[in-house]
Amino acid sequence: MKKWMCMNCGWIYEQEVGDPEGGIAPGTAWEDIPDDWKCPDCGSLKSEFDMVEI
């Protein structure tokens, strides 16, 4: 399964969960997350995420 993962800390974005505390509603597609959103665990920018096979 392919997922978007923060390469600075390993946090994985789950589309069905979203990031409600960070203003991202459950169900939000990765492409629709704004570029200034940050990893909720380590604060890295969206650009620090890579698509990885889990």
In the complex, least distance from residue 15 CB atom to other proteins, rounded to whole angstroms:
17
**Does 2 show up as a binding residue in the annotation?**
no
**Does 34 show up as a binding residue in the annotation?**
no
Q: Using the minimum distance from each CB to other proteins, give the nearer residue, 30 or 43.
A: 43
Indicate the pairing of strand 12-13 with strand 49-53.
Answer: unpaired
d(C-alpha 37, C-alpha 1), whole Å: 24
d(C-alpha 27, C-alpha 6), whole Å: 19
Q: Does 46 bind other proteins (CB under 8 A)?
A: no
Contact residues toward other proteins (CB under 8 A) are 5, 7-10, 12, 20-21, 40-44, 52-54
